[in-house]
A and B are shown apart, each in its own frame.
Chain A
Amino acid sequence: MKRTGAAILWECLVREGVTDIFGYPGGAILPAYDAMLDFPIRHILVRHEQGATHMADGYARATGKVGVAIATSGPGATNMVTGIATAMMDSSPIVCITGQVGSRLIGSDAFQETDITGITLPITKHNYLVTRADDVAPAVREAFHIARSGRPGPVLVDITKDAQQTSCEFDWEAAAPRPHRPEPPPPGKAATVNALELIRSARKPLIFAGHGILLGDASEELRAFVDRTGIPVAMTLLGIGALPASHPLNLGMMGMHGEAWVNTAIQEADLLIALGMRFDDRVTGNLKTYARNAKKIHVDIDAAEINKNVVADVGIVGDLQTVLRAWLPELRRTDLSDWLARINELKGDSAVRDIQNLPDNGRLYAAHVIHDLWRTTGGEAIVVTDVGQHQMWEAQYYHHDRPRSLITSGGLGTMGFALPAAIGAKVGRPDAEVWVVVGDGGFQMTMAELATIAQEQIDINIAIINNGYLGMVRQWQEFFYERRYAATPLLNPDFAKLAGAFGIRAETIRTRAAVVPAAKAARKYRGTVLLDFRVEQEDTVYPMVPAGADLHNMIRRPNPIVETAESA
């Protein structure tokens, strides 16, 4: 029986396991939307296509499944670009479906025509322009295969209107993706032997846990590796959750706003075991002075990451589960007591923890809010953050014990990510408690999705860390531009009133004492609650490694505040 390209599209999506899709209709994708009604798919109507891509991304990060977004041609497709680039930088598996003008009109500058495969070429893992109904099934199946295999990433499938409308025979089996790339061969024996020898002989080793641990579903293996060897672990921002924060050997986050003791330990270490991370400049600081005493073992599924920024003494291309499982039986616990004692000594001089339990002096600090949210939710929530100061404070003060419980835009640093990504996370994990932690600047970039929350009855909670500034930019201006606050003060709307207009419950919080009761009430309420936390305006994220500076040369909090209050 012949079926239309549009019906084949949905048939393939359903067979790929898709149950939810985020999108926005329009002319060139109308045949697909019409066919959608005949399939068991929940469609979330967004308010901007960027939101659809972030939702698909948040869905993918929360569940490990491929997230799917759909939009029309032209502006619908170009609005997806930021979300696709975000997913590319953070290796998030999403498939974006776009409508395209009729195949005969391509190249004619037709209404709402844009070369979206050309535009997204450098920011997708792969993309397809489908001009015939016969090519729909092979393209969609291969798109899913590519999105989730190897190092995951975004794939775009652009389907012309006539390819959706015309009919052809549908053959699921014949459309199976060809093995385009063999799985990476098991790591060579020599590399494994060298790696194990370095691990056994190290006196000051550190494990780096990156996003690859979560993407490769290797948290169990990481934990076994840590427990067996007793080697302490530092996390990248996207690696948070790979090992429980409560694990005694989890030191916390590294990098520009990482814990001071972690950065110092990296500079003193004699071995770095980097697992599924890519030595981003926000992690290393000045490469010339970075971890000069340390040998480096770098394990990543992407061969192009080895020796990219940091030269590895042993580079292993492979799946982290496989690699760690091969290592485990070969390793014993070595005596690292001197090294751990040294790290504890460094921890003692921390200026990061000092405002964690600030006395209630009438001022509300962002750290208060995050800390209290952590306590109120028992550390069990999925927290979705935006980009900026609040993102770093969340990473410092919310202690994540589970994989995939922090969702944030790391590589691209996309403001506006949090609200839509949280909607996607909630759709993917309806039983999970989902919190948005977002700045007042980033929230306004995608706050139109409040309407999506209302229409689709999404039950999340939103904490706006509202300091009336583009805080992180203001902080850079404070440190590096003589406090000349060019274009960083914000005149904000009353967010509680705004939420009210969408029929969303909201509260404005100005004191420490009101934080926990407000958070508790929000948790209890069925439906989304927006909490507008009016925090200290010119607060600063410490410590800070200025861009390009040596990792150990951190700007520290000038006046550590000693915790005294029992009520904290």
Chain B
Amino acid sequence: MQATFVVHVEDRPGVLNRVSSLVRRRGYNIESLTVGRTETPGLSRMTIVVDTDESAVARLHANLDKLVNVRRVEDVTSAASVVRDLAMIKVTATAETRSQIMQLADVFRARVVDVAPDSLVIEITGTEDKVDGLLEMLRPYGVLEMARTGRVAMVRGAGSRTTNGDARDVEASGEAIAYSV
């Protein structure tokens, strides 16, 4: 199964290394890892996707929790959450195919962000399935390059606190996660 963790960490040198090293050392395979700033200065947020079995998920959670620079770990695998992936796809486009490709992008609610005489760059945001779907449709035209962020995730509703929250608050509020669209 694929498990998704949101890990709130202190923004310090080497923290990414500590987290990725832990995952590697315990024998898990990282499917994707994104990291970026949060609304709180000094704190960063990682979304980590690992491929593993269910019992190992709880152990990885506990091990991540032990890292000193980790403030909070959320396992959002089964929580109602918004999950997004951003991709930029550079595809070959000739005078004949350009409008077809732009129509496809439209269907997927993707945006054309660069137009060149022989190529287009399309930016798409969505679930991984949606990104994969567009990618498959574009392949016949000739995909030249792709850059993807990997998964970022956020629990829906007010269930999850701000990044500053205490670890115990999250567990307590875990049951009260509201589903909203």
CB of B65 within 8 Å of the partner chain:
yes
> Is the beta-carbon distance between A122 and B166 smaller than 8 angstroms?
no
> Is the beta-carbon distance between A303 and B17 smaller than 8 angstroms?
no
A182 / chain B contacts, CB cutoff of 8 Å = 166-168
Chain A, residues 101-132, CB within 8 Å of chain B (1/0): the string is 00000000000000001100110011001000
CB of B115 within 8 Å of the partner chain:
no
**How long is the Cα–Cα vector from A247 to B27 in the complex, in angstroms?**
42
> Is the beta-carbon distance between A185 and B59 smaller than 8 angstroms?
no
Question: Beyond A146-B68, A182-B166, is A122–B55 a contact (Cβ under 8 Å)?
Answer: no
> Is the beta-carbon distance between A303 and B65 smaller than 8 angstroms?
yes
Q: How large is the interface on A (under 10, 10 to 19, 20 to 34, 35 or more residues)?
A: 10 to 19
> Is the beta-carbon distance between B17 and A304 smaller than 8 angstroms?
no
**How long is the Cα–Cα vector from A126 to B67 in the complex, in angstroms?**
8
> Is the beta-carbon distance between A304 and B68 smaller than 8 angstroms?
no
CB of A311 within 8 Å of the partner chain:
yes
> Is the beta-carbon distance between A304 and B168 smaller than 8 angstroms?
no
Chain A, residues 121-147, CB within 8 Å of chain B (1/0): the string is 110011001000000000000000010
> Is the beta-carbon distance between B14 and A117 smaller than 8 angstroms?
yes
* Chain B, Cβ-Cβ closest to A121: B21
**How long is the Cα–Cα vector from A547 to B67 in the complex, in angstroms?**
32
Nearest-neighbour CB distance to chain A for B60, whole angstroms, equals 9
Q: Among A146, A303, A311, which residue has its beta carbon within 8 angstroms of that of B55?
A: A311
Determine which residue in A118, A122, A125, A129 has the highest number of CB atoms from chain B within 10 A of its CB, and name it. Answer: A122
Q: Among A121, A126, A306, which residue has its beta carbon within 8 angstroms of that of B17?
A: A121
* Chain B, Cβ-Cβ closest to A179: B166
> Is the beta-carbon distance between B62 and A303 smaller than 8 angstroms?
yes
* Chain B, Cβ-Cβ closest to A308: B59
CB of A539 within 8 Å of the partner chain:
no
Which residues in window 140-168 of B have CB below 8 A to A?
Answer: 166-168
CB of B98 within 8 Å of the partner chain:
no
A121 / chain B contacts, CB cutoff of 8 Å = 14, 17-18, 21
* Chain B, Cβ-Cβ closest to A304: B62
* Chain A, Cβ-Cβ closest to B13: A129
**How long is the Cα–Cα vector from A280 to B181 in the complex, in angstroms?**
47
CB of A302 within 8 Å of the partner chain:
yes
> Is the beta-carbon distance between B18 and A304 smaller than 8 angstroms?
no
> Is the beta-carbon distance between A122 and B25 smaller than 8 angstroms?
yes
How many residues in B have their beta carbons less than 8 Å from beta carbons of A?
Answer: 19
CB of A307 within 8 Å of the partner chain:
yes
CB of B63 within 8 Å of the partner chain:
yes
A189 / chain B contacts, CB cutoff of 8 Å = none
CB of B66 within 8 Å of the partner chain:
yes
Nearest-neighbour CB distance to chain A for B154, whole angstroms, equals 24
CB of A15 within 8 Å of the partner chain:
no
CB of A2 within 8 Å of the partner chain:
no
**How long is the Cα–Cα vector from A126 to B12 in the complex, in angstroms?**
13
Which residues in window 327-368 of A have CB below 8 A to B?
Answer: none
B66 / chain A contacts, CB cutoff of 8 Å = 125, 181, 302, 304
**How long is the Cα–Cα vector from A210 to B21 in the complex, in angstroms?**
28
A524 / chain B contacts, CB cutoff of 8 Å = none
Which residues in window 167-196 of A have CB below 8 A to B?
Answer: 180-182, 185
Which residues in window 66-82 of B have CB below 8 A to A?
Answer: 66-68
> Is the beta-carbon distance between A118 and B17 smaller than 8 angstroms?
yes
Nearest-neighbour CB distance to chain A for B30, whole angstroms, equals 16
Chain B, residues 128-146, CB within 8 Å of chain A (1/0): the string is 0000000000000000000
Q: Among A118, A129, A146, A307, which residue has its beta carbon within 8 angstroms of that of B59?
A: A307
Nearest-neighbour CB distance to chain A for B13, whole angstroms, equals 8
> Is the beta-carbon distance between B167 and A304 smaller than 8 angstroms?
no
**How long is the Cα–Cα vector from A182 to B17 in the complex, in angstroms?**
24
* Chain B, Cβ-Cβ closest to A307: B55
> Is the beta-carbon distance between B59 and A126 smaller than 8 angstroms?
no
A181 / chain B contacts, CB cutoff of 8 Å = 65-66, 68, 167
Chain B, residues 3-23, CB within 8 Å of chain A (1/0): the string is 000000000011001100110
Nearest-neighbour CB distance to chain A for B90, whole angstroms, equals 35
Nearest-neighbour CB distance to chain A for B14, whole angstroms, equals 7
**How long is the Cα–Cα vector from A118 to B16 in the complex, in angstroms?**
12
Which residues in window 31-89 of B have CB below 8 A to A?
Answer: 55, 58-59, 62-63, 65-68
A311 / chain B contacts, CB cutoff of 8 Å = 55
**How long is the Cα–Cα vector from A252 to B59 in the complex, in angstroms?**
30
A308 / chain B contacts, CB cutoff of 8 Å = 59
* Chain B, Cβ-Cβ closest to A184: B168
* Chain A, Cβ-Cβ closest to B25: A122
> Is the beta-carbon distance between B68 and A122 smaller than 8 angstroms?
no
B68 / chain A contacts, CB cutoff of 8 Å = 125-126, 146, 180-181
**How long is the Cα–Cα vector from A424 to B18 in the complex, in angstroms?**
31
Please provide the 9 A-B residue pairs with the shortest distance between their CB atoms, ordered closest to farther: A304-B62, A303-B62, A126-B68, A304-B63, A122-B25, A180-B68, A121-B21, A304-B59, A307-B55
* 4 further A-B pairs in the complex, CB-CB below 8 A; given A129-B14, A181-B65, A181-B167: A126-B68, A181-B66, A304-B59, A308-B59
Q: List 19 A-B contacts (CB under 8 A).
A: A117-B14, A118-B14, A121-B14, A122-B22, A122-B25, A126-B68, A129-B13, A181-B65, A181-B66, A181-B68, A182-B166, A302-B62, A304-B59, A304-B63, A304-B66, A307-B58, A307-B59, A308-B59, A311-B55
Which B residues lie at the A interface, using CB under 8 A?
Answer: 13-14, 17-18, 21-22, 25, 55, 58-59, 62-63, 65-68, 166-168
